[in-house]
Amino acid sequence: MSANALYQPSEAFVKNANVSGMAAYEALCKEAETDYQGYWGRLAKELITWKTPFTKVLDESNAPFFKWFEDGTLNVSYNCLDRNIEKGLGDKTAIIFEADGGEVTKVTYSQLLAKTCQYANALKSLGIKKGDRVVIYISMSIEGVAAMQACARIGATHSVVFGGFSAQSLRDRIEDTGAVAVITADNQVRGGKLLPLKSIVDEAIALGGCEAIKNVLVVKRSGADIAMTAGRDLWMADVADQQATTCEPEWVGAEHPLFLLYTSGSTGKPKGVQHSTGGYLLHAALTTKWTFDLKADDVFWCTADIGWVTGHTYITYGPLALGGTEIVFEGVPTYPDAGRFWKMIQDHKVSIFYTAPTAIRSLIKAAEANDAVHPKSYNLSSLRLLGSVGEPINPAAWEWYHQHVGGSRCPIVDTFWQTETGGHMITPLPGVTPMVPGSCTLPFPGIQAAIVSETGDDMPNGQGGILVVKRPWPSMIRNIWGDPERFKKSYYPEDFKGKYYLAGDGAIRDEKTGYFTITGRIDDVLNVSGHRMGTMEIESALVSCTELVAEAAVVGRPDDTTGEAICAFVVLKRALPNTDEGKAIAKQLRDHIAKEIGPIAKPKDIRFGENLPKTRSGKIMRRLLRSLAKGEEITQDISTLENPAILGQLGQAY
Ligand code: WT7
């Protein structure tokens, strides 16, 4: 089929789907349009068990600080665990955990509740209470999910920091949240390698600014020797094992902050995206039900890490809120070989599989080079639905995923959303939407996505523009932790008359179908392998290497595997290096960035020049840098360049 062909979901799929057929989708959209509050209120009653019911759905009086279901009270962990057990699912498997080395551990809903309660009681025994922040720095594990659920149970706000972030990044987040405790593990294991966690927490705290931390709770993963600071550090087992396996949930208001999750913006330090309890849980459950069509006998696998929002919504909360069975995977897709995902789908009879385009692209390469790791060498007949997230999926990767992983029978949901949106915003519904490779198709029912001009006016279909959401929705970001001004400026800027949520992406709608295609960020945010990074953050990390770097500019360039690649242009304090020196300095700079931010922020290309190309007023010519990064011919006007020779210098990438 050609790249813009429509793929219809099969009749059998449509027949059994949780949302079945275009008419059902249109009816939901219509319901939302005619009675916005009634629509969300109805769903909030259907999907969530409230301790005290809400009397008002949406409060817009202090826009853009919207409030949803404000006077309702609930507990997320009650909704994810106890409630399912009360429905008779106590012995149902909640999580199938597969370790890096392949060992499998399963926990039932009753067992996960018992562990969550012990963790919750452990936190309480240390004086941690509702409203306190707890940082979680742990790899993929049942314990990680239980730690998040335990925080939710006692009303503590968690902030999970991805295990690949450096001590410096972890420190920044601990400080910004004012967390009173960190939950971590001695080590993490990825791709057969033992990597540190606890020692990085020690380093982070030693950097200063983490004075609010009273305790570090350490889950035993490897059992390797680690340092424990007396009076501060405790083994989780020593505190939790003796605790009761029941714990009365703390009933919190719907607007209580369930979690903070840091993400990159175009300027400044990463921002602490604050999410709510009620509205967030509603959308987590609803999108899992409608976009993933989750049913009682499904085995659901979202390959994201709990350190990212995808892992929050589609591992820790959504599937559990619906009583589903899910996979939690500790390892990496390429260990022990690039057939790992396919083998796990076969072994656990996974029926719904959700991953990122970057993973698909790297597995395509591996499969094309070696039949043994090609999906055709595995039995993937259990699959009935596939998903994609994090970045645009190129049509070729879509087609391969559809044909070779989905056996040409599974719909693919290309889900567009963001850390800030809490859950899916624009996505096919698998029993509804004819699919077009590379398009995230249509808004989720009730989401008022639109494309506008720079002044906030609607753009006709067929003309690209700026992606906005016209009305608030339940799972939207509530604030940037501690910085309401930045929240307003970033998401409800004056340019759009302060009315619309600004996603930060460009998009275009198809003239015929009205389908959305995301055209990429309109700010200085890069998306590398689905990881979001600000160019400024990387520039700051580079210039913080004060002994070497005088000035730096970072841009993105397209990359076949990672979507975008980081390209850094650096002016050194010393003379221009020769090739060998250049290699050594580039390595030094990459190591420095890994220390400042984390290995995911290492530039793919580093280029050196005696200066950076600037306009007469001294502004760095970023468009020119982007052309250089792509290896394009320079068509921009360079007559203002003081020293055109630097273009030659900047041509060599290390
Ligand atoms: C940015 C958000 C959503 C959870 C993971 C990433 C890009 C995300 C898609 C998609 C095209 C996508 C956007 C967005 N993005 N999904 N299906 N098609 N682009 O969350 O780190 O907050 O990044 O990822 O640019 O703004 P995030």
Q: Which two tokens stand for residue 262?
A: 């840091």
- Nearest ligand 1 atom to alpha carbon 427: 17
Assess whether the C-beta atom of 357 lies below 6 angstroms from ligand 1. no
Q: Binning pLDDT at 50, 70 and 90, where does residue 532 land?
A: very high
User: What whole-number percentage of the chain has pLDDT above 90?
Assistant: 92
Does the model's ipTM exceed the 0.95 cut?
Answer: yes
Average model confidence (pLDDT) across the chain = 96
pLDDT above 70: residue 434: yes
Distance (Å) of CA 309 to CA 275, 317, 422, 473: 11, 11, 7, 17
Q: Binning pLDDT at 50, 70 and 90, where does residue 2 land?
A: very low
Q: Which two tokens stand for residue 601?
A: 């922020």
pLDDT above 50: residue 1: no
Q: Binning pLDDT at 50, 70 and 90, where does residue 265 land?
A: confident
pLDDT above 70: residue 236: yes
Distance 503 CA to ligand 1 centre (A): 10
Assess whether the C-beta atom of 417 lies below 6 angstroms from ligand 1. yes
Asked if 69 and 45 count as a contact pair (C-beta separation under 8 A), the reply is no
* Cβ-based neighbours of 646, under 8 Å, separated by 6 or more: 609, 610, 611, 612, 613
- Summarised one tens digit per residue, pLDDT across range 480-510 is 999 999 999 999 998 777 799 999 999 999 9
Q: Identify the helix (H) or strand (E) that includes residue 318.
A: helix 318-321
Assess whether the C-beta atom of 413 lies below 6 angstroms from ligand 1. no
Distance (Å) of CA 31 to CA 12, 24, 289, 447: 26, 11, 18, 12
Q: Which two tokens stand for residue 96?
A: 């199938």
pLDDT above 50: residue 544: yes
513 is in an annotated binding site: no
**Which one, of 142, 529, 159, lies nearest residue 329 by Cα?**
142
Distance 431 CA to ligand 1 centre (A): 23
- Nearest ligand 1 atom to alpha carbon 416: 17
190 is in an annotated binding site: yes
**Which one, of 145, 93, 95, 150, lies nearest residue 118 by Cα?**
150
Q: Binning pLDDT at 50, 70 and 90, where does residue 545 land?
A: very high
Q: What is the pLDDT of residue 383?
A: 98
